[in-house]
Chains A and B, each alone.
Chain A
Amino acid sequence: MITNIFRPQSVAEALGLKNDLKGSVFYLAGGTEINSKDFYPQPDQLIFLEGLGLNQIQQDNEGLTIGAHCTMQQLIDDTKTPDFIKQAAAQIINRNIRNAATLGGHLVCNKPYSDIIPTLLVAGASVEIEGPQGTKVVLLSDFLQAPGTDLLVAVKIPQVKADRRVSCLNYRCSANDLSLITTAVSVVCQDRVVSEIMIILGGVGLKRQRLLAVENNLISRNFKVDRARVHSSQNEGIQPRQSQVSNLAGRVLPGVDELQNLVSRAVEATPDFRGSVVFKKYEAGVMVAQALCRACEGQAGGGS
């Protein structure tokens, strides 16, 4: 049972409260998770962060800084937000939720089926956190591994490299279901040769996965991306699945089928009522292969 809600007006005040209060104390942002019936453990006391003014989106030469209290809808509506981040945020299909859910709250909750976290990870996002020891900027991946008790105040997305391409895809059984598969892929190309790949996969298991083995396998092939070739199948209401990536000097990116198998073998899946292990591994292969092909085909400096 919640006995107190505090409304600090500064980060320092919030940190002080967090340090001083006893019991089950949580920060409250948009509340779409902590106020839901599914949230566990129930908090005793809440520190409501709205008064901290952490709802700005700022662009500078380093990249984008998104205040932790920005809502998902705010991200979508702001012209400074890169398209691939907008697309990922829009995967939270429920507008009422997007209007309330904050980016910071979403990251702290760190659900394995999050659609936006994989995209932020492949974009190289970091987070600014405030704690008793002062301000720190850490990679988002590190923060998610060990979130600690510090206050997340901002998310930093580095300026997208001119040669980076990002793609995110998800699969869900119905529109408002949780993602069964959610993946984001980024590729960095130099002279059209793929020099970096990052693949993040969520939804299939209890934890999000980075498919390092797949990344290394593909990088070792030293392949080259071809001109964008995306099927126009909007009329069928289904997103294009078939893509093609060409080779360079005899070094070939695997075909889609082989790519799928490569990914499927690498994925750790947990069965649940949404799907069996076999199905999830297979579908993960399809989604990652598709996302990879799209990334390779996409516009440089952004997402597809």
Chain B
Amino acid sequence: MKIKFKLNGMMREWETAPGEKVLDFLKRHSVTSVRNGCDCQGSCGACTIVVNKKTVNACLLLTAQIDDKEVYTVDYLAKNRQLSVVQQAFIDAGVVQCGYCSPAMILAVTDLLSRNPSPDERAVKDALSGIFCRCTGYQQFFTAVSLAAKRLVTPGYTCQTAPEFREDLRVVGKVEPKVDGPRLVRGEKAYVEDMVESGSLYLKMLRSPHAHAYIKNIDTTDALNMPGVALVVTHKNCPDVYYNQAGQGFPEPSPYDRKLFGEKVRHVGDRVAAVVAETNEIAAEAVKKIRVEYEILKPVLSVDEAAAEGAPLVHNSVLEYVVGAPKDLDNSGADPRDGRIIYQFPIHAHPKKNIAASVSGGIGAISQGFKDADVVFEQEYQTTQIQCTPLEPHVVYTKMAGDRLIIHASTQVPWHLRRIVARILGVSENKIRVIKERVGGGFGAKQDIVLEEVAAYCTWVTGRPVLFKFNREEEFIASRTRHPMKIKVKLGAKKDGRLTAIHMHVRANTGPYGAHCLTVPMNACSKSLPLFLCDHVHFQVDTYYSNIPPCGAYQGYGAPQGSYALQLAVAELADSLGLDHLSVLEKNRVHDGSMLEILKCLGEGREGVPQKVSSCGLGPALKKGAQMIAWGHKEHSADPDIRIGKGVTIIQQGSGLPGLDSANASVTLLGDGTLMLLSGGTDLGTGLDTLTTKMVAECLCVKMEAVSLIAADTDVTPYDDGAYASSGTFFSGSAALEAAKAMRQKLIETASLMLKEPAETLSLVFPSQVKGQKGSVTFAEISRFTQSGTGSGQISVTAGFTTDKAAFPYGAHFCQVAVNTRTGEVRIQKYYALQDCGTPINPELALGQIYGGVLKTIGHSLYEEMILDDTGHCINATLRDYRVPMINDLPADFKAELVETNDPFGPYGGKSVSEISCNGAAPVIASAIHDAVGVWIRSWPFSAEKVLKALGKIEV
């Protein structure tokens, strides 16, 4: 059938199938700005379009419903590449992070302002009520809308959208346009799905319906016989190569405990077979034709079940060690169907007890610490499984170029991805190119190689391009999640609240495979224990295999769980001593210059190094936060059912992994004096590309627009470990800065020749000049000088950055909650996040990182959780049922504040900002609930049902 409609002002008459969704229809006609994040449930709004002046979801419309109508997408707004007022306001306010939701948000705001030229917050919330943004925490959208509204009345209006820092610097610490912002707000091709060429194959995965089973038989004949099916891969015809999917530096502290496909399935959603076919529909049909016979085994779903005597073994495998095999290694009784586990080095695993990894350590003498105590407090805290829910599900597109494999990836770790795929294919790394496209949200889930290697293998075998995109359910059951943990905390303290001993015992559930099984649970200790200065500290970490969906990295990387347990324990201790919580924190907390001895026991699979705190903004953060929330002043409600309480917590993270991470960058001088920056840094939407650009612009005294950037392309840009462990600012930023410094040296040396002045008398001046006592030359003149036939050649420099120094970001979070004692409902009235990220390089984006991190974790504190039935099926694997926070879930008063410090090791004093933001919500909300109603909620989420049970209103 044919429909006739107006698209972005132009009449169109296009063929369509009767059941075709408008979303698919528009994408088929190259309108890429409409996105799909919820598989047509209408719960993400990424496909928002305007039909006859109403915003609607294109995924819930059939093409017949737009016949004879006017349809607008974001593509209409930018005329001649000039941004609309709303698009520009989005960039200026810093609300464009990954950008996957930006076109939808922009259309909704444009529609709002056409109806209501000066909307209040309620109207903004209503306009954006159906659009999910996992990155920004929504708060800055109010600024963006206000800015746009004012500019529509007064063109050119401007205001300060974020505080600025470092008067001595030109672009660092200043609000500057995000370098990828215009491309994203225009809805241009930017993501992996936009790179797909005609003639590509589509991959669909047959997934296990059982949490724990052996595959007795698998028959793919009928699938292979279907017209259009190119390949079916199962455990019978995949490479016999073991690997780990964790995108970590080699050698990884994670076991190689899986192949592409195994004879045993270990979770609901585990891979059984991959089908690649000419269309998605054929692939999906072919998947249904694969016949599988399973031998079903009893699943283990919790650490208690996994640790129980006689528990079913998730990996009854043959164990091998590359180095450090224990002398008593005993592989008797292993079942060959379970395959092998290869350890790069010992991580104290004991698969015959379902232990994937373990570690313990400490400083001082813990028993002495408890002897010295006036009081000893002990409690256990529990966390549930949380999904990262990036708006863009995992996606990869692979193709051949000659004899080389090209991987268009939405990944946090391009180089680790290349290494792992090379291992599986049995080829050398030079045969593979990974191009990191714009990433529609990563949050840790895209640190792991959860689909790329399958598509890569299928392309390598068939020679055909392959697209593999997860649906939302796969994102829940086959991606990565926050580890559920049970954490026992034992504290010893003097009566005045001074800590004498801290013991943490973390029992973590890694699920079916051991990606990050040592390091995430360890981080529960390493990012919480160093906040307190205590002479006697001990920790024990035990990670168990189970048959829940896979766990791995998620923003915070174990720290949110550890922070919840330890910070809440300290709050409980303070309460039991009758002391003010804030004063107990002040009494025990870390300071500028403190020596963190505990870190010598907390290396990631190697010996750690004690670190001195090089900068710490905790003092001012606590002081200002206490003022903002009126700490010590009890609030009362007029409603007798409502009780109001306040909480405080302190948090920290790292800035990459000193001694493990490395980053590199190159800068090249172009003919007209502009610069090309090649950075290995992987921007996930966080603003890293803007940050590295600023490093070069600041150091070389040029305008930001004089620096162009290519990043995270393994063929083009130098090596970088990737975007994880909060390494972007510290490592990738420092690499760019080091490259700029090397370029500066070259420029001065060349100018010295040209001006005939000693280099010591020369300096760079803005814009793009080298000035001496006798004269000056421009970068363009220097370039012409070097590139001429008599010159020394184009100036191009590369620099690497490694360090053994750490730069810890710190923060204090305060909140005020209202607890309804009748309904059990917890509402956040005020949430103030005060964070020290050193010099905030991109202040508006740093604020967005904080808002986003906090709101994500308000989500898991109050309502988000993956819920499994007793067979291991996730029963709420949709965005709606899982309950991601939307704009109407915002705290009534939500503020992020940047507390400036100047770290001596960070680039221009900068430290990380993103992950740390996830560490405060759970403990601070739990503390506030206690302050309100006197009960401690020791497992997240703090649902109304749990609160009512704790209050004795309903039966436990």
Contact = CB atoms under 8 A, between A and B. Distances in A.
A94 B42 contact: yes
Given A94-B130, A231-B639, A36 B886 contact: no
Nearest to A37: B40
Interface string A19-47: 00000000010011001111000000010
Interface string B528-555: 0000000000000000000000000000
Given A100-B57, A237-B892, A35 B62 contact: yes
A221 interface: no
Contacts of A177: 863, 880-881, 883
B49 to A, nearest CB: 9
Given A99-B55, A176-B888, A236 B40 contact: no
Interface stretch (A131-139, A182-190, A195-203, A273-281): A273-281
A172 to B, nearest CB: 9
B862 A241 contact: no
Interface string B813-831: 0000010101111010100
B1 to A, nearest CB: 7
Contacts of B887: 175
Given A37-B40, A242-B641, A173 B943 contact: yes
B893 to A, nearest CB: 9
Contact of A174 (B18, B59, B867, B886): B886
A178 interface: yes
A146 interface: no
A96 B60 CA distance: 10
B889 A175 contact: yes
A94 B40 contact: no
Contacts of B838: none
A23 B1 CA distance: 20
Nearest to B881: A273
A93 B954 contact: no
Contacts of B158: none
A191 B711 CA distance: 76
A177 B680 CA distance: 40
Interface in A201-242: 231-233, 236-238, 240-242
A38 B881 CA distance: 12
Interface string A255-268: 01000000000000
A2 B64 CA distance: 12
Contacts of B108: 95-96
B953 interface: yes
B130 A7 contact: no
Given A93-B129, A94-B45, A278 B65 contact: no
B933 interface: no
Interface string B647-671: 0000000000000000000000000
A259 B945 CA distance: 20
Interface string A74-106: 000000000000000000011111011000000
B48 interface: yes
A32 to B, nearest CB: 5
A3 B820 CA distance: 52
Contact of B954 (A5, A7, A282): A282
Given A95-B55, A100-B61, A237 B829 contact: yes
Contact of A241 (B1, B126, B641, B955): B641
A174 B863 contact: yes
B875 interface: yes
Interface in B40-98: 40-43, 45, 48, 54-57, 59-62, 64-65, 67
B129 A94 contact: yes
A238 B827 contact: yes
B596 interface: no
A276 B820 CA distance: 19
Interface string B873-897: 0011000110111111100100000
B148 to A, nearest CB: 18
A4 to B, nearest CB: 5
A50 B127 contact: no
Contacts of A37: 39-41
B56 A231 contact: no
A39 to B, nearest CB: 10
Contacts of A99: 54-56
Nearest to B893: A237
A96 B888 contact: no
A119 interface: no
B943 A241 contact: no
B215 interface: no
3 nearest A-B residue pairs (beta carbon): A2-B19, A175-B888, A94-B130
19 contacts: A32-B42, A46-B64, A95-B129, A96-B57, A100-B60, A173-B862, A174-B863, A174-B883, A175-B887, A176-B883, A236-B637, A236-B639, A236-B827, A237-B829, A238-B827, A241-B641, A242-B641, A276-B945, A278-B955
Given A174-B884, A232-B638, A236-B639, 14 more contacts: A5-B64, A7-B64, A37-B39, A37-B41, A48-B65, A96-B56, A96-B57, A174-B883, A176-B883, A237-B829, A241-B642, A242-B641, A278-B955, A282-B954
